[in-house]
Amino acid sequence: MSNIFLVKKKIDSFQKKTIEVSGDKSISIRWVLLASLAKGKSKAFNLLNSDDVKASINAIKKLGIKAKLKKNYCEIIGKGLNGYRYKNNITIDAENSGTLGRLILGLLINTNKKIKIVGDKSLSKRDFKRITDPLNKFGAKFKLTKNKNLPLSILGSKLLKPINYYENRGSAQCKSSVIFAGLRTEGTTLIKAKKSRDHTELLCKYLNLPITVSKKKNYDFIKVKKAKKIVSFNYQIPSDISSAAFFIILTCLSSNSSLTIKNVNINPSRTGVVTILKKMGVGIFYKNKKFYKGESIADIFVKSTKTLKPINCPVKLNSGAIDEFLLIFLVAAKAKGVSFFKGLDELNQKESPRLKWGSKILNLMGIKTKLTSNSLKIFGNPKINLKKKIVIKDYLKDHRIFMCSVIAALSFGGEWYIHDKNSIETSFPDFLKILKDLQK
């Protein structure tokens, strides 16, 4: 079967449709890792069934933990905080997942064996020094390729000491990895972290682990002590706002359409996309808000928007929308005026250099942009209506580029040949199926 996805026509308007997208990727991976250190049987319902999460399950299996993917849930049978059993020189394949590759290093900081971490072509280009640097300070030893990349080997340490860590990129992966290392280390680890998604902190608090978080305007101050035990726990994973975002943007860019997306995680550290869309004039709001184990959940209602306003996007919204910028750029492409996004160096550190790709996709659509290493100016065209042929390929199989291109094609017309369809397996295998259902 061809791995190229062809879109030849805009989506027809859809009204009052309701969909549910898959489980949150960040929470799913964190659940797998924490359940692997709990004592006893933990179950997760609505765990994301994607390659990144399957790689996480394979990783803990390599560490001697039993895990089963059943029809409606996943079961992990942990043996407690010291329950990992494995031989020297094992290899863990993080595949495409930065979250798995980075978070697991924190959990393995106290190993007395050699463990090799490998990843796919995209992950092997990404920066791992950003996480081995703080973990080195705990006393752990690493050997990296070219001093910063995978494959890397973790050599562990017997004598760990707590650290003071300043996380200044707004990276939840770095913050979480250091929290995990702190849970393995005698003494108090102190973290000052630029705002980023806080699922790790919320899960740790729910599990009564020794962590305190004090939230300030721009930073969070986190104290972590060595954990004594993790009790097994069940979890109902809410839907992923980063997956919902594809359908939110499709709705606001389509004519005469409206959509409700059920049970989405609306943790304030993840809803930058909603705040930005509201500023751009999109009709979007929450219904049926509720709380679950520290997380906030709601149904998101969105409708198509005739006049989109440009935005000078405040930097403070960047981290809460970091995985949604490719989509937000599409909205800016249709806005009446010039939009400006800045402070986005981190976007080029993702599965592919997404700031560059965001600009490239818009240019292929005939939208003028001005790109620097950390900013993008977009000259919007409210009348955008494509007739030409556009080919999207050679983008390191970045799942979000594939799905964003499909949304662009369905919103703006033209004839799109989008390569590497199977990249959706990384984060959102049901993407095309949900899209098809929406068009019925």
The binding site for ligand S3P (CB under 6 A) comprises 26, 98-99, 171-173, 176, 197, 322-323, 346
In this structure, what DSSP letter does residue 23 have?
A: B
Closest CA to 25 of 239, 207, 267: 239
What's CA 229's distance to the chain center, in Å?
A: 28
Residue closer to ligand S3P by CB (options 11, 344) is 344
**DSSP summary character for residue 424:** G
Q: In the complex with ligand S3P, which residue's Cβ is closer, 131 or 249? A: 131
DSSP 321: G
**What does each C-alpha distance from 241 to 38, 109, 176, 262 come to in angstroms?**
27, 31, 20, 10
Number of helices (H), then strands (E), in the chain: 12, 23
| Residue 323 among the catalytic residues | yes
How long is the chain? 440
Q: Which is nearer to ligand S3P, 98 or 238 (CB)?
A: 98
**Is the CB of 26 or the CB of 263 nearer to ligand S3P?**
26
User: CA 322 to CA 326: how far, in whole Å?
Assistant: 9
| 50 versus 99: smaller Cβ distance to ligand S3P | 99
Beta strand spans in 216-354 (E): 219-225, 235-236, 258-265, 283-292, 295-303, 312-313, 338-341
Of 93 and 346, nearer to ligand S3P (C-beta) is 346
Cα separation, 231 vs 393, whole angstroms? 46
Q: 133 and 169 in contact (C-beta within 8 Å)?
A: no
Q: How far is the CB of 142 from ligand S3P (least distance, A)?
A: 18
Contact 246, 401 (CB under 8 A): no
Q: Which one-letter amino acid corresponds to residue 397?
A: K
CB atoms within 10 A of CB 162: 20
- Compute the least distance from the CB of residue 308 to ligand S3P, in Å: 25
Q: Per the residue annotation, which of 323, 345, 398, 437 is the catalytic one?
A: 323
Q: State in angstroms the smallest separation of the CB of 176 from ligand S3P.
A: 6
**Cβ 33 to ligand S3P shortest distance, Å:** 11
Shortest Cβ 341–ligand S3P spacing (Å): 16
At its nearest, how many Å lie between ligand S3P and the CB of residue 401? 13
Q: Which residues are catalytic?
A: 323
